[in-house]
Structure 1
Amino acid sequence: MPGEKKSEIASVWTRPRRQREQLSREQIVAEAVRLLDADGIEALSMRKLGTRLDAGATSLYRHVANKDELIELVVDEVYGELAVPAATGAADWREAAARSAYSLRAMILRHPWVASVLGQVGLIHLGPNVTKMSQRMAAVYDAAGFPADETEQALSTVISYVIGMATSEAAYLSLIARSGKTEREFAESLPAGTAGSAGTAGSAGTADAGDMRVGDPQQAREETFDYGLQRVLDGLAVRLGPVGG
């Protein structure tokens, strides 16, 4: 009818779930995560996903309107893997913040594609896992005693550090995977004094190449990550004074 307004569904999270169908949204999301983990974000398409599910793209569109909605769903799915401990007060906020940061780093290393799409998701329509975990992380900084107008900034500072470091680590590990070597073999093949090259602090958020040639390269990466994280938390602790620090 002329002038009649069509109702629009604003988000995938408000889309009614279809019942009694062979293919479910959960199956679609799980297979999309597997595809992304194996081949990266560039390989994701509704057609390719439909092929992997032995279903036509049309079947997928009954559950997910487009690729953007699918990305919202897969990001929310992997966010559900995060472990965010509660902070009961200023005395234990730092441990809770560090454990949350390590959990986020581990999730990104399991799903390296997620870092490239975090900026596209969650700005308007947040899924349940993203919402819950974001609130739990914010609560840690709130319990620390940050002023209300700084809580979100403190959290964003730590998250930005984690995403930056983990993205570099993921790129480095991807390089190793393509080489066909183990991480130790790759580290041992690096020439001495090549700091700043692939796999070193300049490009992959890892330890200096000289350090990686001896000892455990995975441990070197973890120590480098922790060093930076602790210095970020040191800086935030200054804002809290002697109790929160």
Structure 2
Amino acid sequence: MAATPKAGAGRTRRPRGSLNQQVITEAALRICDRAGIESLTFEALGRELDAHPTAIYRHFRDKDELLLALTDALHAETTAGGLPVTDDWAEDLRAVAHRIRGAFMAHPQVGQLVAARTARRPHEFEVVEHILGCMRRAGLPDRDAAQCYRVFADTVLAYASMEAALYALDAPTREADLRSWRVDYRELPPDTYPNLAALIDDIPPLDSPDNFRLAVELLIDSIRSRAR
């Protein structure tokens, strides 16, 4: 009688020493993009990487440390190819803001969670250094430059994360939220909500990219005014 194959027989074992933080982080991003952040476990990473889950713990102590690596992975996408410095500080701020949004929207399952986290890693440092440089080139005194950096960066991160959270919703839930502005808000009694009734046709859709563009322009206008 033929021998019964052992469980896992024929499965290719991952070469020893082939795991590192970058490989694991890239796998974690794939899992989140494909199946949602709730699917990200060390067991799922082991299956994705064809490695035992305990091998992941050699590189990340816990899931929170992995989340910080994912945070910096989004910053890495923001800084890919370098952050150009031109003679127009405002345009440079626009560019980095839209790069941040682009990274968050490319990975909404992760983007919705990481705005308030500090990665403490090189790509985050690069983004901070770049935005501070823009503030100083705007002509702000150092104290104002530091304070405006904080407000600008945190506002951009928060807005990008909010947009990511919208796209991380399951499709029916997201559509219900979007539809409410097209339907429910229009049915409100104008005598109770006169401002809504007057402006409802001009309120942009919740998912319009123009909203982010306007937010960035308002911030830049305020920085320019303060520098004067």
CA contact (8 A) 2:29 2:70 kept: yes
CA contact (8 A) 1:192 1:210 kept: no
Match of 1:111? 107
Q: With the length of structure 1 as denominator, give the TM-score of the two structures.
A: 0.68
CA contact (8 A) 2:115 2:158 kept: no
CA contact (8 A) 1:25 1:63 kept: yes
* One-letter amino acid of the counterpart of residue 114, structure 1: G
Match of 1:13? none
Hey, what's the Cα distance between the residues in 2 that align with 1:170 and 1:36? 13
| Unaligned stretches of 5+ residues in structure 1 | 1-18, 196-207
Superposition deviation, residue 70 in structure 1: 1.5
Match of 1:99? 95
CA contact (8 A) 1:87 1:139 kept: no
CA contact (8 A) 1:145 1:240 kept: yes
Match of 1:157? 151
* One-letter amino acid of the counterpart of residue 145, structure 2: T
Q: With the length of structure 2 as denominator, give the TM-score of the two structures.
A: 0.72
Alignment partner of 1:64 out of 60, 74, 92: 60
Q: Percentage identity across aligned positions?
A: 26
Q: Indicate the structure (1 or 2) with the bigger Cα radius of gyration.
A: 2
| Unaligned stretches of 5+ residues in structure 2 | 1-14, 187-198
Residues 171, 119 of structure 1: CA spacing in aligned structure 2 closer, same or farther, 3 A cutoff?
closer
* One-letter amino acid of the counterpart of residue 143, structure 2: D
Alignment partner of 1:144 out of 138, 142, 145: 138
Residues 39, 99 of structure 1: CA spacing in aligned structure 2 closer, same or farther, 3 A cutoff?
same
Q: Deviations over 1:179-210 (max 9, x none)?
A: 399x8xx9689644627xxxxxxxxxxxx874
Match of 1:194? 185
* One-letter amino acid of the counterpart of residue 85, structure 2: A
Match of 1:5? none
CA contact (8 A) 1:93 1:141 kept: yes
Q: Deviations over 1:87-137 (max 9, x none)?
A: 44xxx1111111111111111111222342343333xxx211111222122
Hey, what's the Cα distance between the residues in 2 that align with 1:238 and 1:60? 50
Hey, what's the Cα distance between the residues in 1 that align with 2:162 and 2:73? 22
Residues 31, 131 of structure 1: CA spacing in aligned structure 2 closer, same or farther, 3 A cutoff?
same
Hey, what's the Cα distance between the residues in 2 that align with 1:67 and 1:192? 41
Matched residues, number: 198
- Cα RMSD of the aligned pairs, angstroms, is 3.1
Superposition deviation, residue 211 in structure 1: 5.8
SS at match of 2:51: coil
CA contact (8 A) 2:112 2:165 kept: no
* One-letter amino acid of the counterpart of residue 124, structure 2: V
Q: Deviations over 1:34-64 (max 9, x none)?
A: 1222344333222221122221111112222
